[in-house]
Amino acid sequence: MNTSIVTVESSTAINIDDLPDRIDAAIDTAIAEQRLVGAVVLLSLDGKLVYRRAAGFADREANREMREDTLFRLASVSKLYVSIAAMVLVAKGRLALDEPIDTWLTDFHPKLADGSAVRITLRHLLTHTSGLGYGFLESADGPYHCAGVSDGMDRSDISLEENIRRIASVPLLFRPGTAWNYSLATDVAGGLIARVTGIPLPEAVRELVTKPLGIDDTGFTVADPARLAVPYVNEASGPRRMADSEIVPLWEGVEGLRLSPARAFDTNAFPSGGAGMIGMAGDTLCILETLRRGGAPLLPAELVSEMATDHAAGMDLAPWPGRGFGLGFTILRDPAAAGFAETPGTWRMGGAYGHSWSVDFANRLSLVAFTNAGLDGQSPGGRFPEDLTRAVYSAR
């Protein structure tokens, strides 16, 4: 299905003359080269939906076409929703960005490698400067694996509370606030949200974020199994249907991503704030546009500005060169270094199942691209988001 449209003359610096054709070409090329099986791409300019397309297959083997209402395993796109939920609690005065989180998580006391005690705040969690790590970023015999920590994308019979306890048992990589490292911090933030609200994380995210916006199809359970996209793994011969348990390699020296698509249907799986949600591309666009327009009814504008500030100034965000980090997402510092033709200050994140999203505040632009073909869709770093970005910003 191709429903690409242009409905508005934009006052931004984006050239909209042949915008649908440029984006169509990026999508069609990725599918023809078997880098993608299917995709849903939505683009908003000045608050108007100027491009929308569902392309390819949600389930290639069953010949089920991609649709705009297709559901996807969100992976790290979940971090957007959970970070906003935490900020809503800040707006309500129930949390503070610089308050020690052990005020609420009274048993969460990770220490430095030398045994020194530290102070971790919500700001540290949301900016990934807490000193925590991720299992997929270490070797197979690394400390998170030895402690039985889940990254939130595998099958596990432990609770969220138990996973957080295990995270706390692993020595921190550095003193909080002194460096940046992509991590399980949003999972810990999810546990914090649950403790503060006194209700399970899925209910808290619904009450704080999705319900006020009328979002019904995005959460920690599958709203409609018949609409869920099948995930694929990219290989030299083309995308292969993902097995129930996969380790997707990243680079030498790390184990890679442990992915279990069946987790989406496991009612006993703990709600991973960093990777456990399922939802639609349109719902994420709604969330992004809510932030871009100032945050109402979720957040005041000053807290949106706080989220969009680079809190990792002077820190290296390898493997994401040219980027800083706000409260829940990356902030573009240097387009040349990042390899993305976007405006400095652009917000961007993605997910391991093949998604990317971005907000160019200066150009009043929000872009969501959900795919079902693994890391080629991930952002930053995947080729498809780079292709889309070039298509959107070319000839401006």
Closest CA to 359 of 348, 351, 370: 348
Closest CA to 46 of 20, 19, 9, 21: 9
CA dist 389 and 22 (Å) reads 10
Q: Is 369 helix (H, G, I), strand (E, B) or coil?
A: strand
Asked whether the beta carbons of 333 and 316 are under 8 A apart, the reply is no
Asked whether the beta carbons of 360 and 41 are under 8 A apart, the reply is no
Q: Of the residues 44, 76, 156, 183, which is catalytic?
A: 76
C-alpha torsion angle, residues 327, 83, 189, 375 (rounded to 10): -90
C-alpha torsion angle, residues 263, 241, 252, 271 (rounded to 10): -10
Rg (CA), the chain: 20
Closest CA to 151 of 251, 78, 240: 78
Q: Is 157 helix (H, G, I), strand (E, B) or coil?
A: coil
Q: Is 247 helix (H, G, I), strand (E, B) or coil?
A: strand
Asked whether the beta carbons of 182 and 134 are under 8 A apart, the reply is yes
E strand or H helix that includes residue 45: strand 38-45
272 a catalytic residue: no
Closest CA to 71 of 268, 285, 283: 283
Asked whether the beta carbons of 298 and 207 are under 8 A apart, the reply is no
CA dist 348 and 346 (Å) reads 6
User: What DSSP assignment string belongs to 292-333?
Assistant: HTT-TTTS-HHHHHHHTS-TTTT---TTSTTEEE-SSSEEES
Positions marked catalytic: 76
